[in-house]
Amino acid sequence: MSEESVIFINDTELKESDMSDQQKYFARQVQDLTNKKSRVEFELDQILASLKVFQNALVDTTKEIANEILETKKKESK
């Protein structure tokens, strides 16, 4: 025997069998949007980590190029 689905609204348990079709629809929408929110937050964590890697790479290569230019100018001025 499977357990009946329930939701909690303001700390009150509501069984699916006691819900109207409209309430069931809204409950499914809320559940789906909650799942999507979790997926988007997970993806955002990945995006932010990747963004930081590329930002750091840009800064590092910019420093390398700046140092090469400075070294070249030092040699030319001697």
- Tell me the per-residue pLDDT of 31-75, one tens digit each, with 9 for 90 and over: 999 999 999 999 999 999 999 999 999 999 999 888 888 888 888
* pTM exceeds cut of 0.75: no
Whole-number pLDDT of residue 66: 86
Whole-number pLDDT of residue 35: 98
Whole-number pLDDT of residue 54: 98
The answer to whether 9 touches 17, Cβ cutoff 8 Å, is no
Task: Enumerate the H helices of the chain as residue ranges.
Answer: 21-77
Structure tokens belonging to residue 31: 């559940």
Whole-number pLDDT of residue 36: 98
Domain boundaries, the chain: 6-77
pLDDT confidence bin for 29, thresholds 50/70/90: very high
